[in-house]
Amino acid sequence: MSEPTAVPALSAKQIWHYFAPVHARRPFLALENINLDVARGSFVSLVGPSGCGKSTLLRVFAGLVRPTSGRVELGGQPIDGPDERKGMVFQEDAVFPWLSIVKNVEYGPRARGVARAERRKLAQQWIDMVGLAGFENAYPRELSGGMRKRVDLARVYASDPEILLMDEPFGALDALTRLKLQQELLLLWERTRKTVVFVTHDLEEAGYLSDTVVVMAARPGRIASIHHVDIPRPRSFDIRMTPQFTALTRHLWNEIESLDEG
């Protein structure tokens, strides 16, 4: 009962991070004393105005940024550099254009040395899951932006990370594609129950997807408040019209507005 849930999937302990730009007079405090536990199997969003350090915090979790001080742990183990246990989806198009779709999806298993037949099977399974069957041998340039994002999702899921870090993954997509992909991400998440940390500046997106929404404030980047979303799952598009959902987004909005004045 208490064994796996006792250790959070991800935890940040007293994280301070300074940026030292070459031309700036003094270092810039990007993260001020961040303490955060992410429970195993939960979906947590980080929201906040630009400059609040939400992306930096995510990159600290990924091991791509080493914080100036403090500890980050993955399942109780200190995080030291990026690897396949911390999968990441970026806002930019990160699908390798020189590889076919299937080769993109099997990149992670291949890097880990999974045998050819097995990684093909795995890749196919995730390609089918994101609805790209028939495009296995296409190059990314033949696909639309939304389809490429699906390849990205399939690739990170095929790599089977312990946690999934998403940095505004749908931020560059058009509004309709974005809604569709939110739906599909929910489906994937409900099937696999992988721990997700999701950065966005879209409050509706955060509320729709998450169990927990962390509101961050800027200058210096810090956690302002943490909100639990009690909307039952599985969720569908319709819940956006419920009073409960609109109350939540209004609450988040008021919270962020009040931060601006302070």
Partner 1 sequence: MPRVVKAQAYQPAGNAQNLPGPSSRSLEALALQQARRSALQRRRQQMSLGLLSVLIVITAYTVLTQLPKSNPALLPPPPTIVNAFIKGIQDGTLLSATVASLGRVAIGYMAGCTIAIVIGSLRGWFTTIGYLLDPIIDALRPVPALAYIPLVILWFGIGETARVLVIGLASFLSCVVSVTAGMKEVPTVYVEAARTLGATERRVFLTVAVPSSLPYIFAGLRVAIGAAWGTLVAAELIAAQNGLGYLLQAGQEFFHSETVIVALFVIGVIGYLMDAALKALQTWALRWSPRSG
Contacts with partner 1 in 165-224 (CB under 8 A)? 165
Q: Hey, what are 37's tokens?
A: 């536990």
Tell how far CA 81 is from the center of its chain. Answer: 17
CA atoms within 13 A on the CB side of 261: 5
> Residue 136, interface with partner 1 (CB under 8 A)?
no
Q: Which is nearer to partner 1, 100 or 225 (CB)?
A: 100
- Tell me: does residue 145 bind partner 1 (CB under 8 A): no
The separation between CA 60 and the C-alpha centre of its own chain, rounded to angstroms, equals: 12
Q: Is residue 84 a contact point for partner 1 (CB under 8 A)?
A: yes
Q: Which of 48, 53, 87, 169 binds partner 1 (CB under 8 A)?
A: 87
Cα–Cα distance for residue pair 233/188, rounded to 1 Å: 13
Task: Determine, following the binding rule CB under 8 A, whether residue 82 of this chain makes contact with partner 1.
Answer: yes
- Ranges of beta strands (E only) in the chain are 10-19, 28-38, 43-47, 69-74, 77-78, 86-89, 163-167, 195-199, 212-217, 222-228
- What the block records as the tokens of 55 is 């992306």
Which of 53, 108 has the CB closer to partner 1? 108
Interface residue with partner 1, options 38, 156, 188, 214 (CB under 8 A): 156
**By the rule CB under 8 A, 25 interacts with partner 1:** no
Q: Does 37 bind partner 1 (CB under 8 A)?
A: no
Structure tokens of 91?
């806002």
Per DSSP, the three-state class of 249 is helix
Stretch near partner 1 under the rule CB under 8 A, chosen from 29-37, 83-91, 172-180, 251-259: 83-91
Q: Does 153 bind partner 1 (CB under 8 A)?
A: no
Q: What CA–CA distance (Å, rounded) separates 257 from 254? A: 5
Backbone angles phi, psi at 86, to 5 degrees: -115, 90
Minimum CB separation of residue 29 from partner 1 in Å reads 23
Strand partners of residue 87: 164
Please name the helix (run of DSSP H) or strand (run of DSSP E) that holds residue 177, with its range, or none.
Answer: helix 175-192
Contact between 86 and partner 1 by CB under 8 A: the answer reads: yes
Among 7, 29, 94, 224, binds partner 1 (CB under 8 A): 94
Pick 111 or 133: Cβ nearer partner 1: 111
Selected from 108, 169, 207, 221, the binder of partner 1 by CB under 8 A is 108
For partner 1, the binding residues (CB under 8 A) are 62-64, 82-84, 86-88, 90, 92-94, 96-99, 107-108, 111-112, 139-141, 155-156, 159, 161, 165
